[in-house]
Amino acid sequence: MSRTPSQSEITTIVDGVIRERRSIRAFLPTPVPRETILEILDVAARAPSGTNTQPWQAIVITGQKKEALSKELVEIALDPTRDAEHTQEYSYYPEKWIPPYIDRRRKVGYDLYGLLRIAKGERELMNRQFARNYTFFGAPVGLFFTIDRVMGQGSWLDYGMFLQNVMIAAKARGLDTCPQAAFCKYHRLIARHLEIPDERMIVCGMALGYEDTSRIENTLRTERETAAEFTRFME
Ligand SMILES: Cc1cc2nc3c(=O)[nH]c(=O)nc-3n(C[C@H](O)[C@H](O)[C@H](O)COP(=O)(O)O)c2cc1C
């Protein structure tokens, strides 16, 4: 018979899952059952939201639907003329980069391309690696998240909590994820493929599946500033 875990067991498990979640950029083709996906999204929807507005909506794509979208997106991403026709709908990143953010951004790029042995300036290889986003890095499941345009900034805060829950609930089931803002640039094309109504906006995409542990890019470990560095106590 199972017993209730002790407080210290809960801490170890919950902290462990949070610490072990990483953005995975190469997946096995192993399918994920639909019930598991719904279970993850159900748990994630326990996220808090201002006045319980629950601003999230998810679209799950697999099989042919995913293949068709990926194929078109990869083609566009690798064709500068067609790519130039697409622009972001909302700015995820700052217009002007300043330290320490620019340094962190550069580091993760150098580290990832370093592992893949892609040298600085090897644009073609970099673009090809970046375009792997559009195949969901080989994951069997692609998720898209949308929000009603009428919702305010606070709802985006709620959305972040929901998305983190999705990633943690997946990790707790031995599944991995990669949140993907890369899709946002092609929002018009994606909206057409996935019949997203005009009133809704794409927040981001997300790859979901099992990590391919044999792949070098998945050995990437990102750093964090410690709480003692970014926190100030006052009495
Ligand atoms: C909203 C969001 C969008 C992201 N978009 C992408 C993306 O398009 N492609 C990608 O490879 N990683 C993407 N990432 C992953 C970040 O690069 C990653 O979270 C960060 O480097 C920290 O690494 P970790 O997730 O492994 O801890 C995104 C992360 C977030 C939170």
Choose the residue to mutate in 22, 23, 74, 202 for probing ligand 1, maximizing ligand atoms within 8 Å of C-beta: 23
Q: Give pLDDT, residue 100.
A: 98
Cα of first residue to Cα of last residue in the chain, in angstroms, is 47
- Ligand 1 center to 24 CA (angstroms): 9
pLDDT in tens, the chain (235 residues): 689 999 999 999 999 999 999 999 999 999 999 999 999 999 999 999 999 999 999 999 999 999 999 999 999 999 999 999 999 999 999 999 999 999 999 999 999 999 999 999 999 999 999 999 999 999 999 999 999 999 999 999 999 999 999 999 999 999 999 999 999 999 999 999 999 999 999 999 999 999 999 999 999 999 999 999 999 999 9
200, 206 in Cβ contact below 8 A? no
* Cβ–ligand 1 contact at 218 (below 6 Å): no
Q: Give pLDDT, residue 190.
A: 98
What radius of gyration, in Å, describes the C-alpha atoms of the chain? 19
Single-letter code of the amino acid located at 157: L
Fold classification of 23-220 (topology level): NADH Oxidase (3.40.109)
- Ligand 1 center to 110 CA (angstroms): 14
pLDDT in tens, 120-141: 999 999 999 999 999 999 999 9
Give how far the C-alpha of residue 161 lies from the chain's centroid of Cα atoms, to the nearest Å: 13
User: In sequence order, which ranges of the chain are alpha helices (DSSP H)?
Assistant: 7-20, 34-44, 63-77, 80-83, 101-115, 123-131, 153-171, 187-194, 227-230
pLDDT in tens, 179-210: 999 999 999 999 999 999 999 999 999 999 99
In the structure encoding, which two tokens stand for residue 54, read together?
A: 């629950």
Q: Give pLDDT, residue 149.
A: 98
- Ligand 1 center to 178 CA (angstroms): 6
Choose the residue to mutate in 178, 211, 219 for probing ligand 1, maximizing ligand atoms within 8 Å of C-beta: 178
Which candidate, 22, 47, 39, places its Cα nearest to that of 221? 22
Rounded Cα gap, residues 146 and 59, in angstroms: 8
- Ligand 1 center to 180 CA (angstroms): 6
Q: Whose CA is nearest to atom 2 of ligand 1?
A: 179
- Ligand 1 center to 228 CA (angstroms): 24
* Cβ–ligand 1 contact at 22 (below 6 Å): yes
Give DSSP secondary structure letters for 39-81. HHHHHHTTS--GGG----EEEEE-HHHHHHHHHHHHHHHT-HH
Q: Which atom of ligand 1 is nearest to the CA of 137?
A: 11
Q: Which atom of ligand 1 is nearest to the CA of 108?
A: 21
Decide: pTM greater than 0.95: yes
* Cβ–ligand 1 contact at 126 (below 6 Å): no
Q: Give pLDDT, residue 2.
A: 83
Q: Give pLDDT, residue 233.
A: 98
Using left for φ > 0, alpha for ψ between -120 and 50, and beta otherwise, residue 194 falls in alpha
